[in-house]
């Protein structure tokens, strides 16, 4: 795996984080991700990074904290922890997160404790999250397999074979099986940017969704909204790719719009808990009804986090005939599953509004930009999904038919 790890690390540094001279890099890695974190560190320094700090997240220890600490203690975020993360909010700050999620990590843990800790963390790390959502810093997510995750995806295989098979799929999803993976990513980005340009040229004000699963939903876009994806730029002009892998093209909805029913097409793993077979019903942009056959309390806690978590903050387009979907695998990991399916997000919006960097939060909110401590993606794409775009003059343009882009 040594050569694969090095190729992976180079891709993250060159395409994901786009490390440049004098960058201050924070790597937050799972324990299983240590070899990749070490290789990324080396490539960061070779790219003239000023400093690279590596920290490790121990999921098994995190489970013990939730089991044995009381809720009030879990809500106490040490000042040193908040100061460290919030310090990575400047022009040259870059965060790289290496995930190895166990979809069942928090089975049996009180969902209320998890929600309380999550809310406290969002408040403690507000400076970091605000700058990340406003594209004032570069950040990227990637993943490596672990036994618990791999066994969830491939329960009939031995742990070692499950990990090996999951590695194989990640290699394909990341285009690491290409002779020149960096060139392959650049070609994908160019194609996505061409599609984005076409979408932005339509002047869309509303989008209608419909499929046989039961989704029948219309949502509006705020004035000045635009589509982005594949490759973004900070307000300082530094390029980055937030999710590795990624297949999505996304924008934000007007938080005050959205009517109808949305049925999730895939399970959602949130904070170590699986939510399955769920739906949302919205009226005037607000979630007025919801249910889930599994993980109901976790879904309820997400929606009831704050005022903004009762509304949507992202519209993401991913065609059904895509590299990750074509792997025919449910990853039980949002980083991969959201890039196999069209999706929405509950909660905070990325302010993809022309001139947003010069506006206050109050001005953005008046335009319909949603603010929340949550941002939770959930999947809605199906092979028969139809999406129709409506322009200001009432012109209807097919965006998706049979689950795929029409252009």
The string of DSSP letters for 114-136 reads HHHHHHHHHHHTHHHHHHHHTTS
Give residues with Cβ within 8 angstroms of 150, minimum separation 6: 157, 159, 162, 163, 165, 166
Q: Is 187 helix (H, G, I), strand (E, B) or coil?
A: helix
For the chain, what are the domain ranges?
Answer: 2-173, 194-233+244-398
Q: What does the buried/exposed string (b/e) look like for 30-53 if buried means 16 or more CB atoms within 10 Å of the residue's CB?
A: bebbebbbebbbebbeebebeebe
Q: What is the pLDDT of residue 45?
A: 98
Contact 154, 225 (CB under 8 A): no
C-beta atoms surrounding 279 within 10 Å: 17
Distinct helix (H) and strand (E) counts, the chain = 13, 19
User: 2-173, superfamily in CATH?
Assistant: Thermophilic metalloprotease (M29) (3.40.1830.10)
Q: What is the pLDDT of residue 393?
A: 95
Q: Are strands 273-283 and 232-233 parallel, antiparallel or unpaired?
A: unpaired
How far apart CA 246 and CA 173 sit, in angstroms, is 9
C-beta atoms surrounding 214 within 10 Å: 13
Burial of 268 (0-12, 13-18, 19+ CB in 10 A): buried
Q: Is the dihedral of CA 5, 11, 12, 14 positive or negative?
A: positive
Q: What is the pLDDT of residue 272?
A: 85
How far apart CA 392 and CA 223 sit, in angstroms, is 10
Q: What is the pLDDT of residue 271?
A: 84
Q: What is the pLDDT of residue 26?
A: 98
How far apart CA 122 and CA 172 sit, in angstroms, is 33
C-beta atoms surrounding 259 within 10 Å: 16
Contact 317, 387 (CB under 8 A): yes
How far apart CA 234 and CA 236 sit, in angstroms, is 5
The alpha carbons of the chain give a radius of gyration, in whole angstroms, of 20
Q: What is the pLDDT of residue 202?
A: 97
C-beta atoms surrounding 326 within 10 Å: 12
Residues in the chain: 407
Q: What is the pLDDT of residue 112?
A: 93
For 247-275, write each residue's pLDDT tens digit.
999 999 999 999 999 999 999 999 889 99
Report CA dihedral (383, 278, 145, 60) to the nearest 10 degrees. Answer: 180
How far apart CA 212 and CA 388 sit, in angstroms, is 15
How far apart CA 380 and CA 267 sit, in angstroms, is 10
How far apart CA 343 and CA 380 sit, in angstroms, is 5
How far apart CA 255 and CA 338 sit, in angstroms, is 21
**What is the residue-wise DSSP string for 34-47?**
HHHHHHHHHHHHHT
How far apart CA 252 and CA 139 sit, in angstroms, is 19
Instruction: Please list the ranges in the chain whose pLDDT falls under 50.
Output: none
Write phi, then psi, for 388 (nearest 5 degrees). Answer: -120, 130
How far does the chain reach from its first CA to its final CA, in angstroms?
A: 38
C-beta atoms surrounding 393 within 10 Å: 7
Residue 85 C-alpha from the chain's centroid: 19
């Amino acid at each position: 795996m040594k050569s694969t790890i090095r190729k992976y690390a180079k891709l993250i540094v060159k395409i994901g984080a786009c490390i440049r001279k004098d960058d201050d890099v924070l790597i937050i890695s799972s324990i299983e991700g240590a070899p990749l974190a070490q290789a990324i560190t080396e490539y960061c320094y070779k790219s003239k990074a000023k400093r690279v700090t590596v920290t490790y997240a121990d999921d098994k220890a995190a489970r013990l904290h939730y089991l044995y600490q009381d809720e009030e203690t879990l809500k106490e975020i040490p000042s040193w922890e908040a100061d460290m993360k919030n310090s990575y909010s400047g022009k040259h700050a870059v965060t790289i997160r290496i995930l190895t999620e166990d979809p069942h990590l928090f089975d049996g843990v009180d969902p209320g404790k998890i929600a309380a800790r999550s809310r406290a963390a969002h408040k403690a790390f507000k400076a970091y999250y605000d700058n990340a959502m406003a594209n004032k810093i570069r950040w990227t997510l990637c993943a490596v397999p672990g036994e618990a995750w791999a066994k969830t995806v491939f329960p009939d295989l031995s742990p070692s074979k499950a990990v090996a098979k999951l590695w194989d799929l990640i290699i394909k999803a990341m285009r690491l099986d290409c002779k020149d993976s960096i060139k392959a990513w650049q070609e994908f980005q160019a194609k996505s940017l061409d599609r984005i340009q076409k979408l932005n040229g339509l002047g869309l004000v509303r989008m209608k969704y419909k499929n046989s699963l039961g989704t029948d939903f219309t949502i509006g876009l705020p004035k000045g909204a635009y589509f982005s994806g594949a490759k973004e730029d900070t307000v300082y002009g530094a390029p980055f790719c937030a999710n590795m892998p990624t297949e999505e093209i996304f924008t934000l909805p007007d938080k005050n719009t959205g009517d109808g029913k949305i049925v999730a097409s895939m399970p959602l793993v949130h904070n170590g808990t699986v939510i399955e077979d769920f739906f949302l019903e919205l009226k005037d942009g607000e979630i007025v009804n919801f249910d889930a056959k599994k993980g109901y309390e976790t879904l309820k806690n997400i929606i009831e986090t704050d005022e903004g978590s009762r509304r949507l903050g992202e519209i993401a387009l991913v065609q059904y005939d895509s590299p990750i979907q074509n792997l025919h695998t449910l990853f039980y990991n949002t980083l991969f599953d959201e890039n196999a399916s069209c999706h929405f997000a509950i909660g905070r919006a990325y302010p993809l509004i022309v001139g947003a960097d010069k506006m206050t939060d109050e001005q953005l909110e008046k335009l319909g930009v949603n603010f929340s401590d949550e941002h939770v993606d959930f999947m809605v794409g199906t092979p028969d999904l139809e999406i129709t775009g409506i322009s200001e003059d009432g012109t209807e343009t097919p965006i998706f038919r049979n689950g795929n882009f029409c252009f």
